[in-house]
Amino acid sequence: MLNKRKTYVTQLFNALFIGALLLTGSATQAAACEDASTVSVHCGNAPSAAVDDQGRLWVAFVQDKHVYVSHSDDYGSQYSTPVKVNPVAEDAEFNGENRPKILVDNNEVYVSWTKKTSPRFTGEIRFSRSVDGGATFSEPRTINDDGLFTGHRFESLYQTESGLLYMTWIDKRDLEASIEAGDDYSGAAVYYAVSRDGGATFSENYRVANHSCECCRIAIAPRGPDNIAIMWRQIFGVTTRDHAIAVLTPEGEMTEMHRASYDEWQINACPHHGPTMIQGDNSDDYHMAWFSNGDAHQGIYYGRFSFADQQPHDVYQVDGGAGAGHPYLASKDGTLFLVWKGFNGMQTDVQLITSDDEGRNWSTPQVLASTVEGSDHPLIVESDSESDNELYLSWKTEESGYVFTPIRKQVTGEFSD
């Protein structure tokens, strides 16, 4: 439980320092980006980031129908000239749930995105890599192998400890087949592919499950050295859009699938609110956070799924206020960090809570950053180099451009005198 001193210092800290972040209110980065020729992390859309073993920050973003990659050697003060990933312009999706992804492994940089294609709600899963430290990128390839102009969207990219690359996405090929056969089919399906050679080639596509929700990002976490666990919004019964968790192998098998949340959200609609998930200290435990507006749960929730009993535990309402959304989880040195976005009628706040006991108890929320203009979903990026052991808030706002700011340094401020 949180002690009183900690609460007081948190409040004091917020009063002193959050004001500093709000001082940017009169300036706006978006205006500086008016010149269309300015390509930068601050002017681009829907950035994702990763920090490599050397402490170099890498950012992928979309601008003017191109995915770009830029890097920074000083944690976001200065950035390299962005490198174009797709040489030919294409409609790379850029929104909170559908952003380019970036992973870095030594000298290799992996980038994925969804290319919007012309029939409505359709797209292709795209991948490109650099084997020369981000100087050049391979010609983008389409990973979905059905050759259909249907929905292949909301891709996620993950690299296991053993170096396997997994790509998961929402796929409508089975919906198309059902329509042709004259059958009803609710939602879409989840598919994936695996690369064993650092993205040089990918396996065939494997189906995980039918009847997923159509428009939410998929969360991925490790399950042993080669397998992954994924969490996504799934349609249970006819209309219940709660969450499922499954274990996938590189051979294309789904070894387990369970219901992960019991929110009872009976809705035939697009929430555009995907979950977040990381593995716990106990390898059978998975920390999850998600959004629901169901009969049982409304707002942002935390829960810890255990593969030991296949149930969620310590389910906790993080924020029931309207405007709450888009949670993101990370952990560092035994502490869990959960950020999410809230709106109070005037401004958008990125809030943070922490837990030192694997999600059984949580701190009171503190505001990490705010804006009075439009903003992207907040993300957390881990830095685990020899010189830097930190978690960073990765957040794009129109007011401030791309913000990459340490989280733990702010939280440890709670305990400083």
Partner 1 sequence: MIKSSVIKQIPNTLLSVIVSCWLVASASAQEDNFLPFTNDSFAKIKADFAGQEFLVGLWSVDCPPCLVELDMMGELLKANPDLPFVLISTDPLEERVEASEFLEDFELAGRESWMFADSFTERLRYTIDPNWFGELPRSYFFDANHEMQSHSGIMTRELLESWFSRALN
Q: Which of 291, 301, 328, 340 binds partner 1 (CB under 8 A)?
A: 291
Per CB under 8 A, does 215 bind partner 1?
Answer: yes
What string marks each residue from 257 to 286 as x (binds partner 1 by CB under 8 A) or -?
Answer: ----------xxxxxxx-------------
Per CB under 8 A, does 178 bind partner 1?
Answer: no
Per CB under 8 A, does 409 bind partner 1?
Answer: yes
Q: Output b/e per residue, 197-220; b: 16+ Cβ within 10 A.
A: ebbeebbebbebbbbbbbbbbbbb
Per CB under 8 A, does 31 bind partner 1?
Answer: yes
Binders of partner 1 among residues 315 to 344 (CB under 8 A) are 322-325, 343
- Quickly list DSSP for 288-347: EEEEEESSS-EEEEEEEEETTTTEEEEEEEEE-STT-EEEEEEEETTEEEEEEEEE-SS-
What is the largest distance, in Å, between two alpha-carbon atoms of the chain?
Answer: 69
In whole angstroms, the minimum distance from the beta carbon of 192 to partner 1 comes to 21
Per CB under 8 A, does 120 bind partner 1?
Answer: yes
With H, G, I as helix, E, B as strand and everything else as coil, classify residue 103. strand
Per CB under 8 A, does 413 bind partner 1?
Answer: yes
Contacts with 344 (C-beta within 8 Å, 6 or more apart), sequence order: 321, 323
The DSSP code for 8 is: H
Complex with partner 1: residue 102 or 367, whichever CB lies closer: 367
**328 vs 381: CA distance, rounded Å:** 10
Per CB under 8 A, does 34 bind partner 1?
Answer: yes
Per CB under 8 A, does 4 bind partner 1?
Answer: no
What is the Rg, in whole angstroms, of the alpha carbon atoms belonging to the chain? Answer: 21
Q: Which of 167, 221, 403, 411 binds partner 1 (CB under 8 A)?
A: 403
- Point out which span in 202-210, 224-232, 244-252, 407-415 binds partner 1 (CB under 8 A): 407-415
Per CB under 8 A, does 148 bind partner 1?
Answer: no
From residue 284, alpha-carbon distances to 168, 223, 231, 302 in Å are: 21, 8, 14, 17
Contact criterion met (CB below 8 Å) for 260 and 303: yes
Per CB under 8 A, does 296 bind partner 1?
Answer: no
With H, G, I as helix, E, B as strand and everything else as coil, classify residue 16. helix
Total residues in contact with partner 1, by rule CB under 8 A: 54
Complex with partner 1: residue 308 or 346, whichever CB lies closer: 346
Binding site for partner 1 (CB under 8 A): 17, 20-21, 24, 26-32, 34, 74-77, 95, 120-121, 214-215, 239, 267-273, 291, 293, 322-325, 343, 345-346, 348, 372-374, 398-406, 409-410, 413
